[in-house]
Structure 1
Amino acid sequence: MASGLQQLCVFLLFVVGEVLSFPVNQGAKPAVSCGYESCHATKPDMLNVHLVPHTHDDVGWLKTVDQYYYGDRNDIQHAGVQYILDSVVDQLIKNPDRRFIYVETAFFYRWWKQQSSATQQTVKQLVDEGRLEFVNGGWCMSDEATTHYSAVIDQMTIGLRFLNETFGPCGRPRVAWHIDPFGHAREHASMFAQMGYDGLFFGRLDYQDRAHRMREKEQELLWRASDSLTPPMADLFTGILPNGYNPPEGFCWDQFCDDPPIRDDPDLEDYNVDDVVKRFLAIAKNQATVYKTNHIIMTMGSDFQYENANLWYKNLDKLIHYVNALQAKGSKVNVLYSTPSCYLQELHRANLTWALKTDDFFPYADDAHDFWTGYFTSRPALKRYERISNGNLQICNQLEVLGGPVSRKGPFGEGDSQTMKKAMAVAQHHDAVSGTEKQHVANDYARKLAEGWQHCQVVVSNSLAGLSSSSAERIYCDNLNVSVCPLTESSKKFSVNVYNPLAQPVNWAVRLPVNGTAYSVSDAKGRSVDCQVVPVSRATQNVRRNRGFAVNELVFQVQAPPLGYTIYFVSLRQDGPPPASTQPRPPTVIKNKFLQVTFDPDTGLLSSLSNLETKQTIKLTQNFYWYNASDGKNMDSSQPSGAYIFRPNSSTPFGISRTAKTETVQTSVVQEVRQWFAPWVSQVVRLYTDSRTLELEWTVGPVPIDDHLGKEVITRLDTSIKTSEIFYTDSNGREVLQRRKDFRPTWQLKQSEPIAGNYYPINSRAFIKDDEDQLTVVTDRSQGGASIQNGSLEIMLHRRLLYDDFRGVGEPLNEISSIFPEGLVVRGRLLLSLDRPPTAADTHRPLAQQVVLQPLLTFTDGELNSNTRLEFSGLQAALPPAVHLLTLTQWDKDKVLLRLEHQFQSWESKRNSKPVTVNLQKLFSTLDVLGASELNLSANQWKDEMSRFDWTPQTDEKPLLKTFEDHSDWEVTLRPMEIRTFLLRVRLR
């Protein structure tokens, strides 16, 4: 069956100025009964047990994605996804009653491409009949703690688009299925609701929370996942599965299970039907006591199961037959093959009220001393590389659109964005960016991202060549964070192209490794730009090893137009002033027109921070510490720290040094205080002339392990702000949630780990505040953080551990590399802003987006042609500060996908928490918008055709229905926290 998007391409005729829409009833279609219509009948007077055959196929974990698909390296783990799909399809054909759900589109896509047309037709029939059902449907099952919302939306879009175009409406999942992530984010629930899902099921829940919900029969609930979007826009029915995602004990029939099969021939030895039925009925009735309806769900499968599907289905067929046979003798239990959507439909039909939840499910613990909060920081270098790759992908997508067809096939060859899209999608998996994979798998994720960027560099080069009318060779320098760029280190004259992927102009500090002592810099209009040469720090020389030879850095500020580029020209001077020198003693103060930073002259540490515009000053001390990791050898528990688990062996961290050795660089462009705390910990406190934020560039590693104990390295900011044991974190980079020490909003917490049990994920920012002051910290990657003491905020930077934590990965988190064989060195940035609470979001919201989508610098050697276009913006005008251009990507030949986002919550800004209207036809400078139609968030349904189940919460609140009053077909209004998705038909000007 053709999908809506396929029909769009085939049948739809665009007329200039028209709004495009899906065609209706394009001829006769074969009768199908997928989705809710394909569900087996249930019995209203009985306990209905929904058996859900499934496999959980990690898109990389102990083996790489490729190894899992092919069934390679079975010495590590026996798993071969291609054989699972082969076997399941074969078994579904044999019995029309059987059902199966599949989740990970990354694997299914590979398998599908290798099938014959006959097999593909068979699978389409199975999908059309609802016998094979897709749930979730993203490229992977993403992590929820360490992912950024933009990357999650992208990976869901790529998976759901494939299903939509391959199977049509029957391939569209109705249910989100996040059975394995280690805690659950509110923003994920909000996204799923906006993608049109009717419900979400997950498996992992804090052990205390589960016990409470079992007592109260609240394992099925309504999750209100936004405090800005009017209900039910972000409401999502959520079900907690009874056995994680495994079968009930004693009922596993995979080839590696030890449970006995059903032996139902009474003439043979060990006939066991009566025993199996008795045990099953007992389990079903016991499970029913902790759920609200006469329907319960049982997951029949687990990790990489169904490679021999005959084992499972033969026993499930028998189980259903023999349990249901007892109905003739008065049994009130009815067993059936089912799917999560069929189960959800029965819960909806029950028409009950459901407990309401408005917070999230972090942190997650599966026992008293086993908090899964370490992975918030695990593999910090991979987390940073994933975040950089996300920004590079967005730039690649944008320039593919703005540059037109020449971007894909142009002067620098043939490029593509698809390789990078798939690599980034895989990286969102809950054992990828989370840092919970084996080392060789982490290396493979990074390799895929690097390969994707190589493909995208061709797109970027072609596009910029076309837009600038210059085909000069373009150089990329991916190691600027450690002052490595061969071109700038050796060239006497070069140009810098600064591409800004944001829809607002941006000011950005550029630091280039050079060997000269004086340079001149001019902008696209020929104006001289203030620049300074500063010496490369000893810390940078140590961390780059033999990858570069620059002795200095050229520092200057650039201003880039929205969704566009500008070019700066750099020339070596023979008669310039000498470079800035370092002073061995710290200043008591560094300041610009916005901020003032003071240091303690005795310790070399920060002592206060002042906002000169608002006349605020707070005491601020910042230092580095570590927690010794538990080795599991103590009286309370044998649980050690590992890739997943954070378990310090003391509640008091060890200070690395009470003082910092310092040196200072002061210029007209930047002021730096370079601090050394230990041979393996250093930092630069940096203040640029025109910046409202203070930069802390930290370098940590190799973390010493000569004491044979792993270390969890943190930085802690201690302030005079009166926080009342409360701090705030973002959720996947979007809405902000309040966190309170030793407290959970929905149950009475018995705290057993006072440090690890108070850690939360920070994706892009966290802050502490009182009535007068708010200190916000913007991070450059996902990290774990906490506020253990009043006025304090700590962020975990690096982890090096010597023991496995017994959660399956089977190796300690002890990262080394060819460059750092003695232990990984990691560098990152924290950006600090001090504001009044009512206006703080006006600073930290845009700042966080600038860090996620930082400008891309490319370089050309020598002179540029005189006809080179030196400046370009893809927008007719900058978008208002409240509006973020989230997505601009090529959809097909003449269509692009556009997402516009209101990036403020409804309560956080007097200036920016207001509706904003944007005219789509007046948006782009190089594109004529000929047609537009609105889609749901994941771009697999038209917005006006999306319908979802209505659920009733246990509350008297009657939310107002949200209405949209756009001024015209082209003007669209965005309310706070709203993302609107459009498919545009465009013509390149």
Structure 2
Amino acid sequence: MFSKMATTVHTPFVLLLFQIGVFSLPVSQTPQESPTCGYKSCHAIKPGMLNVHLVPHTHDDVGWLKTVDQYFYGARNDIQHAGVQYILDSVVDQLLKNPDRRFIYVETAFFYRWWKRQSGDMQDTVKQLVDEGRLEFVNGGWCMSDEATTHYSAVVDQMTIGLRFLNDTFGPCGRPRVAWHIDPFGHAREHASVFAQMGYDGFFFGRLDYQDRSRRKASREQEMVWRASESLVPPVADLFTGILPNGYNPPEGFCWDQLCDDPPIRDDPDLEDYNVEDVVSKFLTVAQEQVGVYKTNHIIMTMGSDFQYENANLWYKNLDKLIRYVNQKQVNGSNIHVLYSTPSCYLQELHRANLSCPYFPMRIDDFFPYADAAHDFWTGYFTSRPALKRYERISNSYLQVICNQMEVLGGPTSRNGSFGVGNSDTMKKAMAVAQHHDAVSGTEKQHVADDYARRLANGWTQCQVLVSNTLAALSGSSAPRVYCEHLNISVCPLTESSSKFSVNVYNPLARPVGWSVRLPVNGTAYAVTDSSGNAVDSTAVNAIGCTTWSVETNQKHAFLKVTFDPETGLLSSLSNLETQQTVRLSQNFYWYNASDGNNKDSKQMSGAYIFRPNSSTTFIISKTAKIETVQNSVVQEVRQWFSPWVSQVVRLYADSRVLELEWTVGPVPIGDNMGKEVITRFDTSINSSGIFYTDSNGREVLQRRKDYRPTWTLTQTEPVAGNYYPINSRAYIKDEKDQLTVVTDRSQGGGSIQDGSLEIMLHRRLLHDDVRGVGEPLNEASDLYPEGLVVRGRLLLSLNPPAVAANTHRPLAQEVVLQPLITFTEGLLPPNTRPEFSGLQTALPPAVHLLTVSQWDPDLVLLRLEHQYEARDSKEHSQPVTVNLQVSPLPSTFILLTGLSPSYRCAVCLSGEKPLPKTKGDPSVWEVTLKPMEIRTFLLRVRLR
């Protein structure tokens, strides 16, 4: 291998000529008649009575036990009886038979497929149902995303795809007003923040910790206002949030799907099994019990479940009868009124109650970890399927860099150029599906996980055509581009076989970055030059055995020093030479013995969802590491071997302020019939006092405390699993002097079980199912690794004073999420080739992140900017930032886009938001001000000269 080429490439940018509200989408359709959808379509309630809002719905997983295709078509019913196309067929048919009926639909990925297959007449019929509010969309994303293992940028993208389709198809009546996450396994504060900023009026979910739910029932606090950001000024990130009473299922005894066993309502009094009085009596009892744990005279009941309503007639015939017979009791003094409703109609009635804000409690933390029983913590899926989690993360980078930015840079040429026809839709939809709460979460069957990976791979192929066309246009060279997709395992046939080749490095960030490029080669003497012909420091790295135990940069600027124990070969300390900090730092690899269900306290086993070690004891893989060291002008490495299935390379690059740990784990041995949960643990001299910190979906950071929940008193029953939290991009521990930050390259679970320690779960290989539905153990293998999956990843460590640490870990996490794109060409570039291109005249300020640059329409570009610092992060960067946006060097002119307006939000205890004013002044220079954690979205129209 040789390295280093620290290449700086600027990201494209363009002039903005119209501003819309955060995540707002343009309205492309205006109904000919005034629609009565949304709040206008709600049925009348009866004041003074208990109003029971029945919400017919189906929950359709975008892959889980079957693939997306199998679920849509109803294939492989031997696995699970489910066919989404029949659900939608049947629901539409039944809605037409009674105008009082209502139905909500969630997963746009399925609805989009169904819609494309309908006749024009049927599409017109469905549009009428939507316009009248009889069919209402909630949530509206391409899928119902996971909240623990997803990065916010990918979540925003998948929501955008789904919402845009609904808007383009149905206009304002297609706009969801309620976020609906009834199945994810715990809830992230950043998701609530994003929903609030997108203009949702409320958020409903079904799962929360069993202890938390019990307390909330007792205090009637199952509805709240979630203050989902400590940086955004209220009420920007405030969101009314409701916890549904039965998860997302109907009350016990009231399930009338073809897969249910509850008896139908038999209302013929001449028949022997007449049961109307029994059903009504039971329903009245259920309603009175439910109102006892909520605060208003309105309660909501979800009437549906997984893949239900394939025969909607069964449901609606019984619901019609239930409403009729319960309401008839009012003449005899009953105070219960039942009606067809939707979550938004229910929310409207809470809003109309005009209750003061203290009536509903305020929530400022999140809902992790989730447990449904004393020994059943759903914290294993934070790490399950680590290879898929990494593939999803780098695919997100690929989407942002290749599909999105390159498509904008290349314009029409990118989609139809010398290398063929490419498109970004395949990758966008594959990534959107991957955000599903049984996709990147790792909680699907193996054949479904394979299907998610296949979809992403197809997206890569389509996007590579885009980038080849774009680079050919920008560089003036039509030389074929080579994509080495296995550099993580040091495989690239071109660089290994060619004596001369060119490397193109594209930086997707709107600021310069240094990046060390490592390539597999066959040889030891290579000359590397930059685009100007200047020599770049590089070296061939070979294994050299020696006994040097102290490693530090040997360049003029030394920032870090790492020491190893000469007896064990393990890390022993880390020093920041700039700040004169040194901490004791010991790192090793361990495993927990996964429960097989034979514990004395519980029969619960570890599985795809649940992490349950047999005890709090960790088994050390090795107390010593065999090592080899490499030292040269570019990089210093200590290569550690802990066992035949665990190894690591500790790297310190020249002039670097971070330490890189590249770990390799697998195949995890199971010959002893023990499932294993493999972790790495950092034990330090930092006095963390039982506190550590994790990010929320890659954005704001939350404090975590051992055996503690901020809003309720925890009885801890699982001292390890009950202290695990999702780590999406970074975690850290600190005291008054030192902060050790660990940046991850994928979503992982972790905790601080002992003071001064931070552990991260890397790999899981289990022998039992955890009885949560997936029906198979998490025991991954592949054609390449039939003995068990081998996983490789990176952790980046930094040591700083707490007051300045955010200046390091936030941009570093962004660099890991959006990595440079590296492509290759055979031989050296022709003389007339343009070797360098910059789409920015100047870099953006350090606090500003270029979140999205994406082709919206043939002549429209969607752009998002965000302030990437929290209000409390940094004296230097946690201030409002004004960006002066000037014309980019792209060959284009710009015209004002009109007819767009921001969305308004109306919810309990929230004031309506005002539209953002248009920027005035010189059209060649626009100033955009961003406050901490603020995201601003823009559409611009590009006209090529």
| TM category, shorter | over 0.9
Is 1:707 aligned with 2:672?
A: yes
Residues 231 and 894 of structure 1: CA distance in aligned 2, closer, same or farther (over 3 Å): same
Cα distance between partner residues in 2 of 1:150 and 1:132: 30
What secondary structure sits across from 1:507 in the alignment? coil
| Preserved contact between residue 591 and residue 678 of structure 2 (Cα < 8 Å) | yes
Read off the aligned partner of 1:301 and give its amino acid letter: G
Deviation at 1:354, TM superposition (A): 1.1
1:589 to 551, 563, 572: 551
1:365 to 371, 383, 386: 371
Q: Structure 1 length normalisation: TM-score?
A: 0.91
Is 1:617 aligned with 2:620?
A: no
Deviation at 1:920, TM superposition (A): 3.5
State the match for 1:276 in structure 2.
279
What secondary structure sits across from 1:672 in the alignment? strand
State the match for 1:858 in structure 2.
823
State the match for 1:534 in structure 2.
541
Cα distance between partner residues in 2 of 1:25 and 1:109: 17
Q: Could you list the per-position Cα deviations for residues 886-928 of structure 1 after superposition, in whole angstroms to 9, with x for gaps in the alignment?
A: 0000010111000001000011011111111123444564544
State the match for 1:470 in structure 2.
477
State the match for 2:6 in structure 1.
none
State the match for 2:34 in structure 1.
31
State the match for 1:141 in structure 2.
144
Deviation at 1:327, TM superposition (A): 0.7
Read off the aligned partner of 1:441 and give its amino acid letter: V
State the match for 1:382 in structure 2.
388
Deviation at 1:877, TM superposition (A): 1.2
Q: Could you list the per-position Cα deviations for residues 271-318 of structure 1 after superposition, in whole angstroms to 9, with x for gaps in the alignment?
A: 000000000000000000000000000000000000000000000000
State the match for 1:974 in structure 2.
930
If asked which structure has higher relative contact order (CA below 8 Å, sep 6+), I would say 2
Cα distance between partner residues in 2 of 1:980 and 1:50: 36
| Preserved contact between residue 551 and residue 561 of structure 2 (Cα < 8 Å) | yes
Residues 117 and 964 of structure 1: CA distance in aligned 2, closer, same or farther (over 3 Å): closer
| Preserved contact between residue 17 and residue 940 of structure 2 (Cα < 8 Å) | no
Cα distance between partner residues in 1 of 2:26 and 2:704: 48
2:247 to 244, 248, 253: 244
State the match for 1:10 in structure 2.
none
| Preserved contact between residue 798 and residue 826 of structure 1 (Cα < 8 Å) | yes
Cα distance between partner residues in 1 of 2:783 and 2:441: 23
Deviation at 1:589, TM superposition (A): 3.1
State the match for 2:907 in structure 1.
949
| Preserved contact between residue 31 and residue 171 of structure 2 (Cα < 8 Å) | no
Read off the aligned partner of 2:550 and give its amino acid letter: T
| Preserved contact between residue 608 and residue 617 of structure 1 (Cα < 8 Å) | yes
| Preserved contact between residue 588 and residue 601 of structure 1 (Cα < 8 Å) | no
State the match for 1:155 in structure 2.
158
1:917 to 882, 898, 901: 882
State the match for 1:102 in structure 2.
105
Cα distance between partner residues in 1 of 2:636 and 2:399: 33
State the match for 1:568 in structure 2.
none
Residues 48 and 808 of structure 1: CA distance in aligned 2, closer, same or farther (over 3 Å): same
State the match for 1:768 in structure 2.
733
Cα distance between partner residues in 2 of 1:64 and 1:145: 22
What secondary structure sits across from 1:840 in the alignment? helix
What secondary structure sits across from 2:411 in the alignment? helix
Root-mean-square deviation over aligned CA pairs: 2.0
What secondary structure sits across from 1:838 in the alignment? helix
Q: Could you list the per-position Cα deviations for residues 224-273 of structure 1 after superposition, in whole angstroms to 9, with x for gaps in the alignment?
A: 00000000000000000000000000000000100000000011120000
What secondary structure sits across from 1:715 in the alignment? strand
State the match for 1:805 in structure 2.
770
Cα distance between partner residues in 2 of 1:949 and 1:964: 23
Cα distance between partner residues in 1 of 2:504 and 2:82: 47
State the match for 1:88 in structure 2.
91
| Preserved contact between residue 551 and residue 636 of structure 2 (Cα < 8 Å) | no
Residues 987 and 876 of structure 1: CA distance in aligned 2, closer, same or farther (over 3 Å): farther
What secondary structure sits across from 2:896 in the alignment? strand
Q: Could you list the per-position Cα deviations for residues 167-189 of structure 1 after superposition, in whole angstroms to 9, with x for gaps in the alignment?
A: 00000000000000000000000
Is 1:407 aligned with 2:407?
A: no
State the match for 1:659 in structure 2.
624
Residues 907 and 828 of structure 1: CA distance in aligned 2, closer, same or farther (over 3 Å): same
State the match for 1:784 in structure 2.
749
State the match for 1:575 in structure 2.
none
State the match for 2:9 in structure 1.
none
Q: Could you list the per-position Cα deviations for residues 675-710 of structure 1 after superposition, in whole angstroms to 9, with x for gaps in the alignment?
A: 001110000000000211000000000001111110
Residues 89 and 28 of structure 1: CA distance in aligned 2, closer, same or farther (over 3 Å): closer
Cα distance between partner residues in 1 of 2:30 and 2:307: 41
Deviation at 1:949, TM superposition (A): 2.2
Deviation at 1:45, TM superposition (A): 1.0
Is 1:821 aligned with 2:786?
A: yes
2:690 to 725, 730, 734: 725
Deviation at 1:867, TM superposition (A): 1.1
1:426 to 426, 429, 433: 433
Moved more, 961-970 or 256-265: 961-970
| Preserved contact between residue 586 and residue 604 of structure 1 (Cα < 8 Å) | no
| Preserved contact between residue 878 and residue 932 of structure 2 (Cα < 8 Å) | yes
What secondary structure sits across from 1:521 in the alignment? coil
State the match for 2:51 in structure 1.
48
What secondary structure sits across from 1:366 in the alignment? strand
Cα distance between partner residues in 2 of 1:20 and 1:609: 47
Deviation at 1:54, TM superposition (A): 0.2
Q: Structure 2 length normalisation: TM-score?
A: 0.95
| Preserved contact between residue 220 and residue 240 of structure 1 (Cα < 8 Å) | yes
Deviation at 1:670, TM superposition (A): 0.4
Read off the aligned partner of 1:977 and give its amino acid letter: M
Cα distance between partner residues in 2 of 1:262 and 1:984: 57
| Preserved contact between residue 904 and residue 914 of structure 2 (Cα < 8 Å) | no
Deviation at 1:516, TM superposition (A): 1.2
Aligned residues: 918
What secondary structure sits across from 1:210 in the alignment? helix
Cα distance between partner residues in 2 of 1:829 and 1:207: 35
Read off the aligned partner of 2:166 and give its amino acid letter: L
2:865 to 900, 903, 907: 900
| Preserved contact between residue 144 and residue 181 of structure 2 (Cα < 8 Å) | yes
Cα distance between partner residues in 2 of 1:141 and 1:863: 47
Cα distance between partner residues in 2 of 1:170 and 1:640: 46
Cα distance between partner residues in 2 of 1:885 and 1:173: 27
Q: Could you list the per-position Cα deviations for residues 51-105 of structure 1 after superposition, in whole angstroms to 9, with x for gaps in the alignment?
A: 0000000000000000000000000000000000000000000000000000000
Deviation at 1:530, TM superposition (A): 1.1
Is 1:482 aligned with 2:489?
A: yes
What secondary structure sits across from 2:249 in the alignment? coil
| Preserved contact between residue 18 and residue 938 of structure 2 (Cα < 8 Å) | no
| Preserved contact between residue 16 and residue 885 of structure 2 (Cα < 8 Å) | no
Deviation at 1:591, TM superposition (A): 3.3
Read off the aligned partner of 1:73 and give its amino acid letter: R
State the match for 1:519 in structure 2.
526
What secondary structure sits across from 2:732 in the alignment? strand
Read off the aligned partner of 1:190 and give its amino acid letter: S
